[in-house]
Amino acid sequence: MKRSLCKIIAASTGMLRVSATASAAAPAGIICNEEPDSSKIAVASRIIAGLQRDMEVYTDRGSGPFLAAIYDGDGNLVAKMPNTVVIDKCSHNHAEMNTIKAAEEKLGTYDLTPFNLKLYITAEPCAMCIGGIMWSGIKEVYYGVPTQSVEKITGFDEGYKPEWIEQFKKRGIVVYGNIERELGEQALRNYVAKGKTIYQPAREEKN
Ligand SMILES: [Zn+2]
């Protein structure tokens, strides 16, 4: 990414926000915890947009409106899974957890660290999945819709997860967020419009 094409604001939290002015490769609003890399953003945009477009096929089969995929360093798909909480009757079966489990089964290991894997998710991971990702050995995480939008559009509760992106950085895990956000928000709105299941609705605000 050329500095002339984007304005990088280092937030007090240490997180970087990319605000593009003229580059299709660096859409405005993308956040990350490393110096922005336009090639990573371009790859993630292509993959996450594909996942967002695939969403309806999965939700029409009963899956929740979240999809994840793991790719290796050469760009090969290792695993791809939706959220299957409702159809499996298991609260753990979020898209990220299902995809990590599938990758570990495929590779025959509980530690993905040596495989240099990247996780792409249609939405920001919840409190549970942050832990699951951290323990898996995934090296890079790219997500679409931020938690605030997920909760506002769907009513799902994403849990308490302060400074998770900074915590990932401390552990050497790269994070990019808000990739293809609008496409993802529309996919969530489509899910809600169809009257599909919202389990574990958002907490009541108690002041
Ligand atoms: Zn989750």
Q: How large a percentage of the chain has pLDDT more than 70? A: 83
Distance 14 CA to ligand 1 centre (A): 24
Is the pLDDT confidence value at 206 over 90?
A: no
Q: What is the mean pLDDT of the chain?
A: 87
Distance 125 CA to ligand 1 centre (A): 5
Mean pLDDT of 158-177: 95
User: Dihedral of CA 89/79/161/116: which sign?
Assistant: positive
* pLDDT tens profile 124-134: 999 999 999 99
pLDDT for residue 65 is more than 80: yes
Please give the model's pTM, rounded to 2 decimal places: 0.86
More confident residue, 202 or 189: 189
Residue 137 Cα to ligand 1 midpoint, Å, equals 17
Q: Between these two residues, 207 and 37, which has the higher pLDDT value?
A: 37
Q: How far is the CA of 200 from the centre of ligand 1 (A)?
A: 12
Q: What pLDDT is recorded for position 204?
A: 60
pLDDT tier, 12 (very low <50, low <70, confident <90, very high otherwise) = very low
Q: What radius of gyration do the chain's Cα atoms show?
A: 16
Burial pattern 195-206, b for ≥16 Cβ within 10 A else e, equals ebeeeeeeeeee
- Taking residues 107-118, what's their average pLDDT? 98
pLDDT at 3 over 60: no
pLDDT of residue 200: 66
Residues 6+ apart with CB under 8 A from 124: 143, 144, 145, 146, 147, 150, 158, 177
Q: How far is the CA of 29 from the centre of ligand 1 (A)?
A: 22
Q: What is the distance in A from the centroid of ligand 1 to the CA of 98? A: 10
Residues, beta carbon < 5 Å, ion ligand 1: 94, 126, 128-129
pLDDT score, position 22: 37
The pLDDT assigned to 177 comes to 97
